[in-house]
Structure 1
Amino acid sequence: MKKLCTALLLALPSMSLLAAPAALPVEPKLAQQLAELGLKPTSVANSPVPGLLQVFTDRGLFFASADGQYLIQGEVFDLKNKVHINEEVMKPMRLAGVKKMAASAIEFKAKNEKFAVTVFTDTDCGYCRKLHSEMQDYLDAGITVRYLAYPRGGENSQTFSTLESIWCSKDKQGAMNKAKSGSEVSVAKCDTNVAAQYHMGQSFGISGTPALVLPDGSLIPGYQPAAALAAALTQLAKR
């Protein structure tokens, strides 16, 4: 399913057919039902799908019936207009989020930058390490990589502590290089927003790493080779 959604994301044209809907009050009944599922709604609006609300939560986007009886989690496509509904709804939220966190991202900057992507990463993730081991390929392709933290095991995991140490390090790039190669990172303590980065990733609907946020706010779940990513970014820039 992940491969299908990624393929559709890259194949469908980016079409701004969705006007930003007016925010609606969160009905107490719906809020209560979501709370019972461990979800906290942050905003509610009418969705492009007749009869369904789009509900933004701390764990991503859901769709719900107006009476709150039905809750839907999954990808929704408008086949007539060739629009990936979830992506069009989430793009502006992701862009606003990564912009807010930009100052705290660990950046590997391309000398001849053509594109910049934000990558939610976990130091113990195999494909995150693979991506990082090919960093020079991305830089040579003109792709700047900006890392944000997404410890898959949560805030009580060893990975979370490692990520905090990286973000507290004087040499953040060097610490990231060490961690991604499997070496131990010196413990460092400071005030970081690693937890805020993680929670933001959850609100984007991210559940695995690496997760790539493209310049238009699109999300690609999973590793992408430099050549494939450069091709996708070039295609995106032409739209």
Structure 2
Amino acid sequence: MFNTKISKFLTAIAVVACTSNIAHAVEKTYPEIDTAVAKLGLQVQDIVDVPLEGMKGVLTDKGLFYVSEDGTMLLHGTLFNLKEGMRNESEAILSKVRISQLGKFKGDLIEYKAKNEKYAINVFTDITCGYCRKLHQQIEEYNDLGITVRYLAFPRGGVASQSYRDMVSVWCAKDPAQAMNDAKLKGQVAAKSCSNPVVDHYNFGAQIGVSGTPAIILEDGTLVPGYRPPQDMLQVLQGS
């Protein structure tokens, strides 16, 4: 009898615990923010807490904004935390997003792998970009330093540009890495079409603060804008 009562008591506790966990798992919604942002033609991807009273960080398809909980005020820019030594709160938010979202593109990147890999960088690139071509000319130097280079597409002219169509051809080639070599080193692009990730790459870049190429994402989510020579890139990676 005693054991039966104990069993029933433990079962009751388990049920309460499960119910409590479910309650905590329910995310708070902000309909006022959703409505206000939608009126601007933006799509809300996520809403996160920020150290700014009465405001939320709103990640959209066009980047990060700060919106009041009642949906009446909007800020766009970089948020610094003075109490934490000018910590860049905007970059802290976006770094987490970059890390979490990069994984879904794992099979859609064009990779130049280092034999003795120590680091990996993810580079938003455009085949018409001069500094992107310069970076690509030095792929072997990056690799020799133990740096694997992975490319995501970011046609600077948008998804209606010739650059976009050419990058689709590169990603649709039988050997995308060789097609990238031909496009950047020889200016040769063989027209191809297929189901491809170029639009998704471009939208992802716009979401996380990419505005030009090359733009480099480090393994900790840090965004490094612009070209960095191999040795400089190694120093950045060693210090990250």
Relative to the length of structure 2, the TM-score reads 0.83
5+ unaligned residues in a row in structure 1: which ranges?
1-21
Counterpart of 1:80?
83
Shift of 1:33: 3.0
> Which amino acid letter does the alignment assign opposite residue 198 of structure 1?
Y
In structure 1, which of residues 165, 169, 176 is the aligned counterpart of residue 180 of structure 2?
176
Shift of 1:181: 2.5
5+ unaligned residues in a row in structure 2: which ranges?
1-25
Offset from partner CA, 1:1-49 (integer Å, 9 cap, x none): xxxxxxxxxxxxxxxxxxxxx954132x433332333211122232122
| Residues in 2 aligned to 1:123 and 1:35: alpha-carbon distance in whole angstroms | 34
> Which amino acid letter does the alignment assign opposite residue 47 of structure 1?
V
Shift of 1:194: 1.4
> Which amino acid letter does the alignment assign opposite residue 39 of structure 2?
E
In structure 1, which of residues 50, 54, 58 is the aligned counterpart of residue 57 of structure 2?
54
Shift of 1:70: 2.2
Counterpart of 1:214?
218
Structure 2 counterpart SS, 1:80: helix
> Which amino acid letter does the alignment assign opposite residue 165 of structure 2?
S
| Residues in 2 aligned to 1:26 and 1:58: alpha-carbon distance in whole angstroms | 17
| Residues in 1 aligned to 2:100 and 2:51: alpha-carbon distance in whole angstroms | 21
Structure 2 counterpart SS, 1:119: strand
Structure 2 counterpart SS, 1:192: coil
| Residues in 2 aligned to 1:199 and 1:162: alpha-carbon distance in whole angstroms | 17
Within 5 Å, give how 1:1-239 maps onto structure 2: 23-27=27-31, 29-82=32-85, 83-181=87-185, 183-236=187-240
| Residues in 1 aligned to 2:156 and 2:95: alpha-carbon distance in whole angstroms | 22
| Residues in 2 aligned to 1:74 and 1:179: alpha-carbon distance in whole angstroms | 36
Shift of 1:182: 5.2
> Which amino acid letter does the alignment assign opposite residue 121 of structure 2?
V
User: How many residues are matched?
Assistant: 214
Greater RCO, CA 8 A, separation 6+? 1
Conserved? CA contact 1:129–1:180, under 8 Å: yes
| Residues in 1 aligned to 2:46 and 2:29: alpha-carbon distance in whole angstroms | 8
Q: Cα distance 1:31–1:128, how it changes in 2: closer, same or farther (>3 A)?
A: same
Shift of 1:193: 1.5
| Residues in 2 aligned to 1:24 and 1:89: alpha-carbon distance in whole angstroms | 19
Offset from partner CA, 1:85-114 (integer Å, 9 cap, x none): 112112221112111101110001112111
Conserved? CA contact 1:106–1:146, under 8 Å: yes
The structure with the greater share of residues assigned to helix is: 2
| Residues in 2 aligned to 1:48 and 1:30: alpha-carbon distance in whole angstroms | 17
* Percent identity of equivalent pairs: 42
- What is the RMSD of the two structures over their aligned residues, measured on CA atoms? 1.7
| Residues in 1 aligned to 2:83 and 2:180: alpha-carbon distance in whole angstroms | 44
| Residues in 1 aligned to 2:120 and 2:44: alpha-carbon distance in whole angstroms | 30
Offset from partner CA, 1:52-101 (integer Å, 9 cap, x none): 21001011111112232222221222233242211211222111211110
